[in-house]
Chains A and B, each alone.
Chain A
Amino acid sequence: MPDRLQTAREIAQVQVRLARALASELRAHAPWQQAARDEACGEAKRPGFLRFLRTGKARPTHAALADQLARVQRCASELSLWADRAQAERRAAVAEREKLESEAMHALEAAAASASRAGEERRALEALHAELDGLPTRLHPRYAALEARAHALQQAIAVDDLRRDQLAESAQRAREAAGAGRELEQALERAEQTLRRLEGVAAQAVEQVDRAIGAHAASAGAQGLAEALAAAVKDVDPDAVESLAQETLRFLSERPGAARRR
């Protein structure tokens, strides 16, 4: 569990880093916006997206776009990898929690069986005591044997009581750990959903940039690409990702203390 907590903490930190990286990559659409502004001003009447950026010292469009495509693809791949990792950790956490719940259930069943056995033993002891009380004197030939049986039964009842307490404690611990595991699963699920959402945004950006590379020879709109990337930045919303991650980190920071207390 502590390893998984550490991983969940790392995943939460990574999702913030990747959201910022993706947003920054999508904001690198300034050249296309400049080209779009020029287009709107009628400054560049020449056809072709490619020519917009040929006027200044900027790199040629296709080279800049190819580099941007590589960077966004890397970002998308990293997001996908961490989303898969979060999913794998969540599945492992589910298996671990189910094992703990099963352990708790077995302990409770064993405690219940022990309680029922103790009831029978107490009834047997009461019967023995009644029998002992019914004898006229302690010197009666059956008294010593009955007393020895009552003593052994008393000892067995004490051992069972101890065992039952231990089982109940162990079931309680397993239930608490399973509860913490459930919260961890929820944190991992949230992280996975966020990473998948960001992965989707990155994949769309890859699509847009790829389309722009393929269409540069025709007068494909710089405006279109600039708008698509700007909209994608809004979809990434790194601040929202950070607040989600902070929530997860706060939850995780409380867990190791609880684990140590146990």
Chain B
Amino acid sequence: MILQGPDAEAHLCALRALLAVARPGAQYPEGRSLSERLRFLPAALEIDPRSGLPALRALGQVDAERALAPEFLEKHAAALPDRAPRFRALLEATLEPLHRVQVRLIHRDGDTSRVQLVRDLVDPASGCLVRFTIVARQRGEGQVSFVRGDLSRASSQLTGAVEEAASGDAEMALLALAKLPGLTPEDVVRGQLGPLCTARFPGPALLAPALACAPDGAVLHLSLERAGTTVPEDRCLDPLASLYRDALSPEARARVEARRGQLGYRVVKERRLVCTPELESPLKAALSAAGARLVVRSR
């Protein structure tokens, strides 16, 4: 869906304001970088109707233009002077890539190492921005090698496996990565920014009564899932999600439960909502009426 003029500006303003209130932590995609990226979106704003966020194509266009900025300033600035300020600003902006896999060494002791893998992506299934943070123990250097002792380098097989594992939820990612030889995932966190719900993009039915009370309001969802051996117990605190295992057939579930027993992980899911001030009371009332316990903040 394309938003134009004041509608687009209002939508982006709401998103920027909610990101400033939410201050998403390291387990989520970079909120400040997203906010910075929003400055460069075109006036005709393409919105992904599933997430209420700018569409991947619009977000990616910013990267495409940024990549051209040095060439523009060198070759075209004199001939196209009206565009020079935009390209200069693009070059100076702190933008993080939308899609990437990063690997970092946490600790190394002889043949055993503990590494952190971070996968950022725009989830193709929901249109939301997602970050997977995986902490894994490695034996040998089959998946991550260490140049000069501490510079981590992921094998292309591991990069591909992380990209593939990061297409579901945290538990699925942990199960998928546990298949890799020499690597034992200990903790997988999935942080998601979005959806952004407004009267135009209402999202889950649970929020509909609140949005009806304040049609100019907006709600940003921040959901966090963690699957790991240090999670004390399985808990789904997110009324809009369910555990992966709960959706499986009895046979498939038995297999997953057996694997879970071997790996010793548990899963917790939670969600918090950040909304515009006029929506806070109606939203809390609507959630309370539905029996959903969620943290709601507007400042």
**A237–B1 alpha-carbon span in the complex (Å):** 33
Nearest-neighbour CB distance to chain A for B74, whole angstroms, equals 12
Interchain CB contact under 8 A, A60 and B57: no
Interchain CB contact under 8 A, A60 and B163: yes
Nearest-neighbour CB distance to chain B for A260, whole angstroms, equals 24
Interface string of A51-72 (1 = CB under 8 A from B): 0001001111011011101100
Is residue A165 contacting chain B, with contact meaning CB distance below 8 A? no
Is residue B135 contacting chain A, with contact meaning CB distance below 8 A? no
Nearest-neighbour CB distance to chain A for B166, whole angstroms, equals 9
Is residue A73 contacting chain B, with contact meaning CB distance below 8 A? yes
Assuming the A-B contacts A81-B68, A216-B124, are A69 and B80 also in contact, with contact meaning beta carbons closer than 8 angstroms in the complex? Answer: no
Is residue A88 contacting chain B, with contact meaning CB distance below 8 A? yes
Contact of A74 among B68, B99, B124 (CB under 8 A): B68
Is residue A210 contacting chain B, with contact meaning CB distance below 8 A? yes
| Interface hits, B54-97 → A, CB 8 Å | 55-57, 60-61, 63-65, 67-68, 71-72, 75-76, 79-80
Interchain CB contact under 8 A, B125 and A217: yes
**A84–B71 alpha-carbon span in the complex (Å):** 14
Is residue A77 contacting chain B, with contact meaning CB distance below 8 A? yes
**A217–B157 alpha-carbon span in the complex (Å):** 23
Is residue A119 contacting chain B, with contact meaning CB distance below 8 A? no
Q: List residues of chain B with CB within 8 A of the CB of A213.
A: 56, 124
Closest to A214 in B: B124
Interface string of A202-220 (1 = CB under 8 A from B): 0000100010011011000
Interchain CB contact under 8 A, B65 and A89: no
Q: How many A-B residue pairs have CB under 8 A?
A: 79
**A181–B157 alpha-carbon span in the complex (Å):** 57
Interchain CB contact under 8 A, B63 and A85: no
Interchain CB contact under 8 A, A85 and B76: yes
Closest to A209 in B: B57
Is residue B121 contacting chain A, with contact meaning CB distance below 8 A? yes
Contact-residue size bin, chain A (C-beta under 8 Å from the other chain): 20 to 34
Q: List residues of chain B with CB within 8 A of the CB of A74.
A: 63-64, 67-68
Is residue A76 contacting chain B, with contact meaning CB distance below 8 A? yes
Closest to B126 in A: A217
Contact-residue size bin, chain B (C-beta under 8 Å from the other chain): 20 to 34
Is residue B122 contacting chain A, with contact meaning CB distance below 8 A? yes
Assuming the A-B contacts A57-B157, A66-B56, A70-B64, are A89 and B79 also in contact, with contact meaning beta carbons closer than 8 angstroms in the complex? Answer: yes
Q: List residues of chain A with CB within 8 A of the CB of B61.
A: 73, 77
Interchain CB contact under 8 A, A84 and B80: yes
Interchain CB contact under 8 A, B76 and A76: no
Is residue A241 contacting chain B, with contact meaning CB distance below 8 A? no
**A30–B231 alpha-carbon span in the complex (Å):** 43
Q: List residues of chain A with CB within 8 A of the CB of B121.
A: 62-63, 66
Nearest-neighbour CB distance to chain A for B246, whole angstroms, equals 20
Closest to A4 in B: B79
Nearest-neighbour CB distance to chain A for B65, whole angstroms, equals 6
Closest to A210 in B: B57
**A73–B66 alpha-carbon span in the complex (Å):** 11
Assuming the A-B contacts A69-B57, A70-B60, A77-B64, are A59 and B80 also in contact, with contact meaning beta carbons closer than 8 angstroms in the complex? Answer: no
Interchain CB contact under 8 A, A73 and B57: yes
Assuming the A-B contacts A73-B57, A73-B60, are A66 and B80 also in contact, with contact meaning beta carbons closer than 8 angstroms in the complex? Answer: no
**A248–B71 alpha-carbon span in the complex (Å):** 23
Interchain CB contact under 8 A, B68 and A78: yes
Closest to B83 in A: A84
Contact of B160 among A60, A73, A89, A214 (CB under 8 A): A60
Interchain CB contact under 8 A, B124 and A73: no
Q: List residues of chain A with CB within 8 A of the CB of B163.
A: 59-60, 62-63
Is residue B298 contacting chain A, with contact meaning CB distance below 8 A? no
Assuming the A-B contacts A50-B167, A66-B121, A70-B63, are A85 and B56 also in contact, with contact meaning beta carbons closer than 8 angstroms in the complex? Answer: no
| Interface hits, B151-175 → A, CB 8 Å | 157, 160, 163-164, 167
| Interface hits, B17-68 → A, CB 8 Å | 48, 55-57, 60-61, 63-65, 67-68
Q: Which residues of A contact B (CB under 8 A)?
A: 7, 50, 54, 57-60, 62-63, 65-67, 69-70, 73-74, 76-78, 81, 84-85, 88-89, 92, 206, 210, 213-214, 216-217
The 8 closest A-B pairs by CB, nearest first: A63-B163, A73-B64, A60-B164, A77-B64, A74-B64, A62-B124, A210-B57, A88-B79
Q: Which residues of B contact A (CB under 8 A)?
A: 48, 55-57, 60-61, 63-65, 67-68, 71-72, 75-76, 79-80, 98-99, 121-122, 124-125, 127, 157, 160, 163-164, 167
Q: 19 additional contacts, CB 8 Å, given A59-B160, A69-B56, A214-B48?
A: A7-B79, A50-B167, A59-B164, A63-B121, A66-B99, A66-B124, A67-B99, A69-B57, A70-B60, A73-B63, A73-B64, A74-B68, A77-B65, A77-B68, A81-B72, A81-B76, A85-B80, A210-B56, A214-B124
Q: What are 7 of the A-B contact pairs (CB < 8 Å)?
A: A62-B121, A62-B163, A73-B57, A74-B64, A77-B65, A85-B79, A216-B124
